[in-house]
Structure 1
Amino acid sequence: MDKAAIHMPGDLNRLRRETDMVMAAVDSLHKDELAEPALVMGWTRAHVVGHLIGNARALTRLAQWAVTGREQPMYASREARDTEIEELAALSAEELKKTLREANAMFIDAAEKLCAKDLAAPMVTGPLGEISAYAIPAYRISEVLVHHLDLRTLWGLDEADMDALEDALDLAVVRLQGRDDWPGLAIDTDEGEHHVIGDGTTQVRGGRDAILAWLTRGITDGVRSDGELPVPPAFA
């Protein structure tokens, strides 16, 4: 899939739905639970929440760039991004939850403005290089779904909106299509999508939720293949 092909906005209703669900999950976690390990190696649940906050802020900057035409990078640097996550993870549970709620609201407001008018900058520089600004909500949906899974609560990707899963899977595939070290795959979802990475040598099948969990977190439950499933690169 060409990066430029990801141009339609993720539906704002499903953005709100998935945002509300991850917020509810975070609200349910006590201080000690936030300090427990997440699925991301080296991160606690509080780090995951910190990343969700930082990502909301970063994508808000991209949305504002698109609307105003004034260029704003997502992050000053990778080091600045990682420092922000560490600082946020050190907040009290109450402050961490409050900050996530505020960041979520800020991004949704920016996404509403993004989808409501002609854009001064229809292309911006995002996590995969130059992208259509209209894809920014879909990027946030993808981040929310994958990192909701990282929180290790009772919630699973099978509970996500089916179109939200499609947004997230499309972007997970595009990330891998840009890598030279990834083997060829032909991915067919049970819902009817077909994706090709590289030469498409290895056939892989499964539901959107199962394929997304494998491509982003290496979880192979529900994934069927005629060859050995490779271990995916880190998604953080």
Structure 2
Amino acid sequence: MKLIIGNKAYSSWSLRGWLAAKQSGLAFEEITVPLYDEGWDERKREEDLAPSSGKVPILWDGDAVIWDSLAIIEYLSDKVGRDRFWPKDEVARGMARSMCAEMHSGYLPLRRECPMNIRKTFEDVTISGETRQDAIRILQLWAEARSRFGKEGPYLFGTFSAADIMFAPVVTRFITYGFTLPGFAAAYAETMMGHRWMEEWFQAAGEEEWTIEKFETPAT
């Protein structure tokens, strides 16, 4: 397998796809395609990104081409066993799937106003009411998952799962933009940030040479 990803400092969907590949336990080749600079269009052609309309991440596995983070999670869970990615309890699994689907399609104000930049921390950022409502909704879901299904470990559903993969970039956003988190959420964020794969991703992001200027200052 090979996984094509964008800049680790900025690409939230790439982080999700990469964590999914790591969670699968399968060997994969990692290919980074720097996003949005003057060579972006040419690299899309060179790396044959046509099936995904130039989007990342993309997982290539033989003849299979999967170009959406949630689809990558589902493909890999089919390949290695769904219990590796999803809670075993069907009630917990139903909630985890719902949370992942909501994350996949929602929270547009948070995404727009707080793009991922894991090399930065901003102070005194003005957060809009819409984005604040997104954050409140996410914290409510985290609280319910932890209280109902998180007794067996420090992650949303106890053990590390697809839900943690999908919300990992949100954790980084909360830190980058200085959100004040309640105790349980701060503890969860600390757990996520201390995960060995997140530490590996952050280290690699710090070594990247590329900068995307539009993500280097808070959106206004």
What TM-score do you get using the length of structure 2 for normalisation? 0.30
Which one scores higher on RCO, CA 8 angstroms, separation ≥ 6? 2
What TM-score do you get using the length of structure 1 for normalisation? 0.29
